[in-house]
């Protein structure tokens, strides 16, 4: 069972690589939720976000398949979970992990001192990733996968309660303030396809 209180739930939610370490070790699917690109990178070509998500996936606990989640593909994520359950003949544990904003402070200090970083950074929460994570949980609930942790339920409630304002909220959020409007619109228009960041390494 995963550490902490979420281990008894089928659908879990946490922030960043450190949070994934708590909730994803016995999961069958990890949904890495990352909506907006990092300012200052070549986001207009669409390369930064994909590369960054794949790099993050490599840091997540071994075993489960890792897919990318965003505001446009929650239904596809839920479909993947239902297929996994059919393949397993049993329930599929899902860890929904919001990327958040990396401050880099702890790692920078350690690097400057020539010391290794031995603790996972806790990212700042972001409006866009919280809402997208909530969209994923909501799609899972709609598919009948509703044994959610309190953390996942709160993310879901944030999305469902603000559903009609999501595009405005993301566009006006702090995470979008350093990006040009076209980049933000592109992120909000991301398509419904499922992107697999890492295949499962778990034994069949």
> pLDDT > 90: what percent of the chain?
76
Residue 43's pLDDT is 45
Residue 63's pLDDT is 94
Model confidence pLDDT, tens digit, residues 129-180: 999 999 999 999 999 999 999 999 999 999 999 999 999 999 999 999 989 9
Q: How far apart are CA 192 and CA 181, in angstroms?
A: 21
Closest to 134 (Cα-Cα) out of 197, 71, 90, 41: 71
Closest to 82 (Cα-Cα) out of 91, 74, 73, 72: 91
- pTM above 0.75? yes
Residue 119's pLDDT is 47
Cβ neighbors of 8 (< 8 A, separation 6 or more) are 1
- Assess whether pLDDT exceeds 70 at residue 88: yes
Closest to 181 (Cα-Cα) out of 43, 53, 50: 43
Residue 41's pLDDT is 52
Residue 122's pLDDT is 75
Region 7-23 average pLDDT = 96
Residue 4's pLDDT is 67
- Assess whether pLDDT exceeds 90 at residue 97: yes
| Residues facing residue 63 across a β-bridge | none
Region 112-126 average pLDDT = 63
Residue 78's pLDDT is 98
- Assess whether pLDDT exceeds 90 at residue 106: no
Answer yes or no: are the C-beta atoms of 133 and 33 closer than 8 Å. Answer: yes
């Amino acid at each position: 069972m995963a550490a902490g209180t979420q281990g008894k739930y089928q659908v879990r939610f946490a922030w960043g690589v450190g949070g994934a370490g708590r909730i994803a070790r016995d999961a069958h699917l990890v949904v890495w939720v990352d909506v907006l690109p990092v300012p200052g990178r070549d986001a207009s070509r669409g390369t930064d976000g994909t590369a960054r998500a794949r790099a993050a996936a490599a840091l997540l606990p071994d075993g489960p398949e890792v897919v990318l989640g965003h505001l446009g593909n929650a239904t596809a994520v839920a479909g993947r979970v239902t297929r996994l359950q059919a393949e397993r003949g049993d329930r599929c544990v899902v860890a929904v992990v919001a990327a958040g904003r990396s401050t880099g402070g702890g790692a920078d200090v350690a690097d400057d001192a020539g010391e290794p970083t031995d603790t996972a950074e806790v990212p700042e929460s972001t409006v866009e990733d919280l809402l997208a994570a909530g969209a994923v949980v909501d799609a899972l609930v709609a598919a009948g996968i509703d044994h959610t942790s309190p953390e996942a339920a709160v993310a879901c409630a944030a999305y469902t309660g603000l559903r009609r304002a999501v595009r405005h909220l993301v566009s006006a959020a702090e995470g979008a303030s350093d990006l040009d409007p076209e980049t933000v619109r592109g992120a909000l228009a991301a398509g419904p396809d499922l992107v697999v960041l890492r295949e499962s390494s778990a034994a069949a």
